[in-house]
Amino acid sequence: MVYHVPVMVEEVVAGLVADPDGAYVDATAGGGGHSWALLQALGPKGRLLAVDRDREAVAVAQARLAADTRAVVRQGRFAELSELLAQEGIGPLSGVLFDLGVSSHQIDAPARGFSYRADGPLDMRMDAEVGPTAAELIAACSESKLAELIARYGEERAARRVARSIYRQQRLEPLITTQALRQAVAATRPQMLNKTLARVFQALRIAVNDELGQLQAGLTAAEVGLKPGGRLVILAYHSLEDRLVKQHFAALVRGCICPPRVPICTCGRKSSFKRVGYKFQRASESEVKQNTRARSAILRIYEKIEAG
Ligand SMILES: C[S@@+](CC[C@H](N)C(=O)[O-])C[C@H]1O[C@@H](n2cnc3c(N)ncnc32)[C@H](O)[C@@H]1O
């Protein structure tokens, strides 16, 4: 079975590789699909550090890229990017790619506990050896805290009702499988069960993996690691992560934060990034037909500029 079909490959490579002999980071290696395509566009002096927090993904990407001496694959999180770059002696960077979220393999493997469609342990950790599982998070949370988390990370309106049902079940028997969680959500009789399940599972996944905290740390590490003219390409799959990316770069593109009525800048902040091309790009219709996962992808490209 295919591990993961990479999304918007042509757009990613065209947007990222401006210098074929530069140093690049694929911060979300997954099955190595984007990494492999990037290597095809790099010259003999080009280098690529491919990183993933998931040990299974690292093994798959390593096997796929093993024959290419320009590539090195390492296990780690976004928050560890600067450290990994220093350890590998790679940089300053010409480009960094973030293809956010989970891979098809992670979703499709019942043992990982990401999917409400299959039965498996209620785990959801991308790095299956670190931190509490979704089941442990539910066991440690209060009902109001869980409701807040489902509302914030799942943007689910019935978050309180769902959290109440989860804890009603939890008191009878600890929720330790994806199907037990599914039943607790279904017991609230939502109009669109699958949509509610998707939002609740998304919320728990984001919380278990601290996805937004990691993204913020990764963007900051990339910002620092890039050289002027270096590019950042980000593929987001839901509004929370896309909003974070958009707001993060809006501030860096704008630079000055003085109120409009102030005639001369007093804050002294300068733009450090510019947007490249369109505000954002979507996958083509033909790609979405072949790969439904591409439907929700939003691609944004930014370029670091010389400090003025
Ligand atoms: C959409 S998949 C990437 C697929 C990849 N582009 C390919 O071509 O196969 C996202 C990957 O990012 C990894 N990931 C998500 N958050 C991460 C983080 N904070 N640090 C490192 N890897 C992360 C996941 O484990 C997953 O393998």
* Domains of the chain with CATH codes: 9-105+211-304 (3.40.50.150), 128-208 (1.10.150.170)
DSSP state of 257: -
Q: What is the four-CA torsion angle of 26, 79, 249, 92, rounded to 10 degrees? A: -60
Question: So what's the pLDDT on residue 56?
Answer: 96
Nearest in space to 77 (alpha carbons), one of 120, 129, 28:
28
- Buried-state track 266-295, b at ≥16 Cβ within 10 A, e below 16: eeeeeebbeeeeeebbbbeeebbeebebbe
Say what the pLDDT of residue 308 is. 55
Tell whether ligand 1 has an atom less than 6 A from the beta carbon of residue 28. yes
**Mean pLDDT in runs of 10 for the chain (308 residues)?**
93 98 98 98 98 97 97 98 97 97 95 96 94 97 97 97 97 96 96 96 98 98 97 97 96 89 88 94 97 96 86
DSSP 165: H
The pLDDT value recorded for residue 206 is 98
Pick from 26, 28, 38, 51 the residue to mutate for probing ligand 1's pocket: most ligand atoms within 8 Å of its CB: 28
Q: Looking at ligand 1, which atom is closest to the CA of residue 54?
A: 25
Binning the chain into helix, strand and coil, the percentages to the nearest 5 are 50, 15, 35
**What spacing in Å lies between the alpha carbon of 256 and ligand 1's midpoint?**
33
Q: Which residues contact 65 (CB under 8 A, 6 or more apart)?
A: 32, 35, 36, 39, 48, 50, 71, 73
Q: Does residue 4's CB lie within 6 angstroms of at least one atom of ligand 1?
A: yes
Q: How many CB atoms lie within 10 A of CB 93?
A: 24
Q: Does the Cβ of 6 fall within 6 Å of ligand 1?
A: yes
Q: Which two tokens stand for residue 160?
A: 């309180």
15 Cβ inside 6 Å of ligand 1: no
CA distance 306 to 308: 6
Contact 167, 185 (CB under 8 A): no
How many angstroms is it from 6 CA to the middle of ligand 1?
Answer: 11
Ligand 1 centroid from CA 77, angstroms: 9
Ligand 1 pocket check for 54: Cβ under 6 Å: yes
Answer whether 56 contacts ligand 1 (Cβ < 6 A).
no
Ligand 1 pocket member 61 (CB < 6 A): no
Q: Residue 106 Cα, ligand 1 centroid: separation in angstroms?
A: 10
